[in-house]
Chain A
Amino acid sequence: SQKIEQNSEALNIQEGKTATLTCNYTNYSPAYLQWYRQDPGRGPVFLLLIRENEKEKRKERLKVTFDTTLKQSLFHITASQPADSATYLCALDGVTGGSYIPTFGRGTSLIVHP
């Protein structure tokens, strides 16, 4: 069955360091992959989308890589700040009934210490 794995343990880092979060998947051939940020008690907020034919995508301090051979995506936040503390979800999109519908991982909590 399709499976998306994100590290369930919280990632604790010091302010200014680079945070790297991992998303692994099995039994899936996604057309694209997305990363979202979710704060407690709030809905997810879209951050980045990367397509299957793209290796890397950047947006300000964020960088996403997508390795379809390893079936893995890495999400980096450079120069991390305490305000970056949140849960980060990866989502894979596959076609269902003609529409792209994402399946979400459980998310990894990031805690940036000042």
Chain B
Amino acid sequence: GAVVSQHPSWVICKSGTSVKIECRSLDFQATTMFWYRQFPKQSLMLMATSNEGSKATYEQGVEKDKFLINHASLTLSTLTVTSAHPEDSSFYICSARDQAVRGIDEQYFGPGTRLTVT
């Protein structure tokens, strides 16, 4: 089946620094990738939809200047948390849809990245 990887799997950073998280589709091309954030015992909250070669579409309430998304190729999207603060500590998960599959399809999720800001 389709595999999505994320790197790093966990990261600890100091307040005020920036952190980059990578999301890769390993065996398929993904024109669209999604970034989610999940707090403990909460549902996945969609942050933004990332389309290859164009600007990301952010959900209401998500600061695009704080959460920079770059979808430079059909297999890679990155999320950069700029000037991170402790309240940004969360579980960040990406997902991707297989370009080759037409119509409605399930999303393939990455394993997630645990970000802790101290």
Residues of A within 8 A of B (CB): 4, 8, 31-32, 34, 36, 41-46, 49, 51, 89, 93, 97, 99-107
Bound CA span A17–B72, Å: 48
A114 to chain B, nearest CB (A): 25
Which of A36, A49, A99 has the most chain B CB atoms closer than 10 A to its own CB?
A99
Binary CB contact string for chain B from 21 to 38 against chain A (1 if under 8 A, 0 otherwise): 000000000001010000
Residues of B within 8 A of A8 (CB): 41
Whether A49 pairs with B106 at a CB distance below 8 angstroms is yes
Cβ of A106 and Cβ of B104 under 8 Å apart? no
Asked if residues B109 and A107 are in contact (CB atoms below 8 Å), the reply is: no
Contacts of A51 in B (CB 8 A): 104
Q: Is the CB of A93 within 8 A of B104?
A: yes
Let me know if B107 and A106 touch, CB within 8 A: no
Chain B residues with Cβ under 8 A from A107's Cβ? 43
Contact with B104, one of A46, A97, A100 (Cβ below 8 angstroms): A100
Which residues of the other chain, B, contact A101 by a CB distance below 8 angstroms? 34, 46, 49
* Chain A: minimal CB distance from B83 (Å): 26
Interface residues of B in 63-118 (CB under 8 A from A): 91, 93, 95, 104, 106-112, 114
> Smallest Cβ distance from B41 to chain A, in angstroms?
7
* Known pairs A31-B104, A41-B91, A106-B43 / 20 extra A-B pairs, C-beta < 8 Å: A4-B43, A32-B104, A41-B112, A43-B111, A44-B44, A45-B109, A46-B107, A46-B108, A49-B104, A51-B104, A89-B44, A93-B104, A97-B49, A97-B57, A99-B32, A99-B49, A102-B107, A104-B43, A106-B42, A107-B43
